[in-house]
Amino acid sequence: MGLMGKMAKRKVRSAHLRPLEALENRLLYATFTVTTAVDSGAGSLRQAILSANATPGADTVAFKIGTGLQTIAPLTALPAVNDPLTLDATTQPGYAGKPLIQLTGSRLPIGNTTSGLIVTAGASTVRGLVINRFGGNGVMLMNNGGNTIAGCFIGTDATGAAAAPNGGQGVFVQSPGNVIGGSGAAARNVISGNAKSGIQLYTTAASGNSVRGNYIGTNAAGTAAVANGKCGVSVGSPNNTIGGPTAGWRNVISGNGADGVIIAGTGATKNTVIGNYIGTDAAGSARLGNVLYGVEISQPNNTVGGTLSALRNVISGNVKSGVVLYLSTASGNKVIGNFIGTDATGRRDLGNGARGVDVTYGASDNFVGGSTAGSGNVISGNDAGGVGSYNASPRNSITGNFIGTDLSGLVPLANAKTAVSLSGGLSTIVRGNTICYVGTIAVQSGSTSGNTITSNVLLPVLL
């Protein structure tokens, strides 16, 4: 055979080898199946996580422990997930939308601070588990982000109807870009009954997260409170989104032991709260109030609501005010397009126990409503007034709202007491609102000066 023939033969052989070499170099992802509820050994959840950690690549843990509800009760902390992994308990035989694998810390020593699952790998998924009775947090997302938690009950019993508290937060997040929840019932987490907050986004490391479609502080039906001991969602980081522009992304954040949503701590800026029911049941038709405020903000440049109806929050039925902006660090925030004190139709009274909106303790340059279409809030039916700007809180704007009417601006739905109160609300603008009020005073300026009150439509309610 000549030289050219030998070269041609080598090329053909090389071409045949390339696909085989590619297959050899490709990571082969593995599935590890949990077949027993015992704490350790072959077929256990512990061993499945250890095996997945030792197998590079995005592996899966599936479940096949008999059929129906099964309980796994570790005797010591489970290993952290340090290689990308999908823990998918919807694979348990009999699964039909409600979790059937219960991971409980009930057999751990009393006083332990062990968390249920710790995920450090990033790019991992936890789906379809009940996670309860751990001394620490239910789930921790640390270091690397891009994780998903979906379809879990965290802090309740397996029915989703009663508290089975984790001793810390339901979900503790200190990594970026995670999704907690999803669209619709299959992805919905019930994060309720935990000793501290339902979800905590902690420090600036927890940026760019999305919390969507969950019931936080209620039962699995969204009809009764199963309170987290503190807030529903605690945000201490930037650029997160709570809720979303579709009904499937709506969170119900109600019945919690403190605020529904709190945005506090240095760096908690440019967060967005949209499309949620905060303080009502899942139908938006009955009070299921958070014990303190619906939304509390002490940091700058956050947004609650939006100019489109899909972005509207219903913030009603809370024991104190619907929204509070407080401290001098709360500047440049926008509260726009919401129903604050009404039901989800904007026509019935589900008032908050104090004012609809408080701006106080030096909060400045904030916007309650606005002049563009859709910016105005309906702030009605609240038990201690519509909007208050007080305690040396300068240059805030209260513009274009319906205060004391339904969403049409024509039907009275008055707030009790004064509709707008400016008591130390320095250089505040009250412009272009439709204000329906009881008594003799629609806008009370107190002893302050420099406020602008103009172009409002005042409609007294005759008692």
Residue ranges of domains in the chain: 293-463
Q: Exposed/middle/buried for 454, CB within 10 Å: 0-12, 13-18, 19+? A: exposed
Domain 293-463: top CATH class: mainly beta
- Average pLDDT (221-240) is 98
- Average pLDDT (92-121) is 97
Query: By three-state DSSP, how is residue 90 classified?
Result: helix
Which are the contacts of 102, defined by CB distance < 8 A and separation ≥ 6? Answer: 69, 70, 71, 72, 129, 130, 132, 158
For residues 451 and 453, what is the distance between their CA atoms, to the nearest angstrom?
Answer: 6
C-alpha distances (whole Å) from 46 to each of 40, 88, 102, 274, 457 are 6, 14, 14, 39, 66
Q: How confident is residue 424, by pLDDT bands cut at 50, 70 and 90?
A: confident
Q: How confident is residue 462, by pLDDT bands cut at 50, 70 and 90?
A: low
- Average pLDDT (112-131) is 98
Residue 463 confidence (pLDDT) = 52
The sign of the CA dihedral 350, 352, 355, 358 is: negative
b or e along 124-139 (b: 16 or more beta carbons within 10 Å of the residue's beta carbon)?
bbbbbbbbbbbbbbbb
For residues 325 and 256, what is the distance between their CA atoms, to the nearest angstrom?
Answer: 19
Q: Provide the mean pLDDT of the chain.
A: 93
- Which amino acid is located at 290 in the chain? N
- Average pLDDT (22-34) is 69
Query: By three-state DSSP, how is residue 32 classified?
Result: strand
Residue 27 confidence (pLDDT) = 53
The sign of the CA dihedral 326, 328, 329, 330 is: positive
Which are the contacts of 242, defined by CB distance < 8 A and separation ≥ 6? Answer: 211, 233, 235, 251, 253, 261, 271, 272, 273, 274, 276
Using alpha carbons, select from 187, 194, 33, 218 the residue that is nearest to residue 99.
187
Using alpha carbons, select from 36, 115, 49 the residue that is nearest to residue 81.
49
Residue 15 confidence (pLDDT) = 40
